Structure 1
Amino acid sequence: MSDSKTGILAMIGACVIWGLSPLYYKLLTHVPPLELLAHRTLWSLAIFAGLLAVQGRLGALRAALGSPRAVAILGVAALMISANWFLFIFSVQIGRVTETSLGYYMFPLVAVVLGVVVMKERLGPWKWASVALAALGVAQLTWGLGAAPWISLTLASTFGLYGIIKKRLNTGPVVSVTAEVALLSPIGIVWLAWLHSHGQGVFGQDLQTSGLLAFSGLLTALPLVLFSKAAQKVSLSTVGLLQYINPTLQFLCAVAIFGETFTGYHMIAFAMIWLALAIYSGVSIAQDRARRKRPATSSAVAPH
């Protein structure tokens, strides 16, 4: 199998796991979100650290945490991703998966805005049009429901800020995420210790719940490893298009399986954001193809 096909399959696998993860978290609605987040952090650390140990790369983890500046950057990244994880878990438990799917549809467009504001990037007219169309969709939903879709906006913003912060790091995704959960793990340990000391911790009370909590580590680690593999083997435009599998599956879980309310205002907002994403993706694909053609042209005359 070619590297391209392997990468595409890896990306599809990652997005399917992410997209169907609400089904997993629905099985743990009896576990408080903070406790579930603490378990996800600790079990993720066990999986990631074990993976790095098998690969002989624990030294890379020590290097990633080797300076106060790196620790500070990773610490802020850890706060952003933990806030994102917590809100996602909480939203599933209270029956707001429709909003989580909307948030992950909005993420690429929010990331574009953050790139302009924080990184001083420039956008062409079509990308500005896609951002404006998405903003109109959110405004319409806010007007229709009488409240802004804060869950969607916060999920998209925290993940977008997380991406901006990660751009400042030179470490690979597995090493950086391992460092992030390592920084968060002392908080998780203290919180779980307090719960169990007061007889409130759920781990160990029954085999099914304990097994599901331990599984959260694999559920976190596996799609990230697949995503990292895909990013190395396929173009960014392909990765960008395939990532919409994730919110699409979340949306189907919300409406078809969980029976969440989906109003006409939701329908209009989703349609506008889908159209915005189609415009944005089409422009991104054209730009990616143009970039790939330029090196191919110059390589014929450049010395090797």
Structure 2
Amino acid sequence: MKQTRAGLGYGLGAYLLWGTFPFYFGLIAMVNPLEVVPWRVGATLVFCAILATLTRRWRQVALILRNPRLLGWFALSALLLYANWQIFVIGVMSGHVIETSLGYFINPLFTILIGVVVRGERLTRLQWIAVGIAAVGVVIAAVAYGSFPWIALGLAVSFGLYGAVHKHAGESVDGITGLTIETLTTAPIAAVQMAVVASVTGLAAYTHGTGILLLVLLSGVMTAIPLILFGESARRLPLSYLGFLQFLTPILGFLYGFFVMHEDVSPGRWVGFVAVWIALVILIIDMVIQLRRSPGAQLATGPIPLD
């Protein structure tokens, strides 16, 4: 019970902080999003290095670096996380906050499909209904957008796969060590991307004043803290609990995009969103039914480990 309470605390902290990201990255929207992510990776790596030194985690980091199989899993999770960051930053900084929230609403349903395709899991009748309704909602949303909602689906796919791979790789690894490994493996990609941006458009983070530069650099801290909390939560909670908690982030994102940014939501887009929300309600009902039948069950609505 103590582990569960701690896991819930870590998880709530992670998903609530992720829910503030649209507001945070909206503050630095004047910076090229292709420049923001490399800064974010570098600042996250510095912050993780400080934490790893203070908490004496470098020995654990070295052990993973000498384990090719485990390092490979972390490298894969790092690439998926990097892709997710880039898609999210582009979405928020280009004024598509509501579409990013749609992506994270779709994510639990996509995670279920990972279980079916990768692990051969069977869906209940209610889960199939939820997936079907969500699919219809995504198609309607795509038609209403007038273009393919690549931001929403890109976020759902990248974070769904990241959660699954990270759960598999990091179940016995603490959050600080895991994130340090992930940022180490993506640092070379970030450096190359930064060099390309510098040569094509020039670096602009420091041209908008000290305040903007500080926000860009602090994005590393803002990034590291919820990911570390997520790693600690994933080690302590059943997957079903994580499935419930992850709905917090897109709810906050949608509220910010609609009420603060006043993004337009056409009738067709409303239909698409409502369809996805109905699917999530059905999914939650199914989760509650399964938990009552088997309180110890770990359901397919959180990140699913890959074997």
Same fold by TM-score greater than 0.5: yes
User: What letter matches 2:56 in structure 1?
Assistant: G
Query: Equivalent residue for 1:155?
Result: 155
CA spacing shift, 1:257–1:60, aligned 2, 3 Å: same
1:227 aligns with 2:230: yes
CA distance in 2, matches of 1:236, 1:257: 32
Superposed, 1:109-258 pairs within 5 Å as 109-170=109-170, 171-172=172-173, 173-192=175-194, 200-205=202-207, 206-232=209-235, 235-258=238-261
Query: Equivalent residue for 2:270?
Result: 267
- Alignment TM-score, normalising by the size of structure 2: 0.86
CA spacing shift, 1:198–1:266, aligned 2, 3 Å: closer
Cα contact 2:34–2:197 (8 A) shared by 1: no
CA distance in 2, matches of 1:94, 1:194: 21
Superposed, 1:33-72 pairs within 5 Å as 33-72=33-72
Q: CA deviation at 1:148?
A: 2.7
Query: Equivalent residue for 1:96?
Result: 96
Deviates more, 1:255-264 or 1:186-195: 186-195
CA distance in 2, matches of 1:43, 1:96: 25
Query: Equivalent residue for 1:20?
Result: 20
273, 276, 285: which one aligns with 2:288: 285
SS at 2:56's partner residue? coil
Percent identity reads 33
Provide Cα deviations, 1:185-206, integer angstroms capped at 9, x if missing partner. 1232344456568892234443
Q: CA deviation at 1:49?
A: 2.5
Cα contact 1:98–1:260 (8 A) shared by 2: yes
- Alignment TM-score, normalising by the size of structure 1: 0.86
CA distance in 1, matches of 2:276, 2:147: 18
Cα contact 2:144–2:266 (8 A) shared by 1: no
Q: CA deviation at 1:226?
A: 2.7
SS at 1:105's partner residue? helix
Query: Equivalent residue for 1:301?
Result: none
Q: CA deviation at 1:13?
A: 2.6
SS at 1:253's partner residue? helix
Unaligned runs of 5+ in 2: 298-307
Q: How many residues are matched?
A: 294
CA spacing shift, 1:285–1:232, aligned 2, 3 Å: farther
Unaligned runs of 5+ in 1: 295-304
User: What letter matches 1:202 in structure 2?
Assistant: A
SS at 2:108's partner residue? helix
Cα contact 1:236–1:288 (8 A) shared by 2: no
Q: CA deviation at 1:289?
A: 4.1
CA distance in 2, matches of 1:293, 1:105: 25
SS at 2:74's partner residue? helix
Report the RMSD for the aligned CA atoms in angstroms: 2.5
Q: CA deviation at 1:40?
A: 0.8
Instruction: State which structure, 1 or 2, has the greater radius of gyration over its C-alpha atoms.
Output: 1
Cα contact 1:87–1:151 (8 A) shared by 2: yes
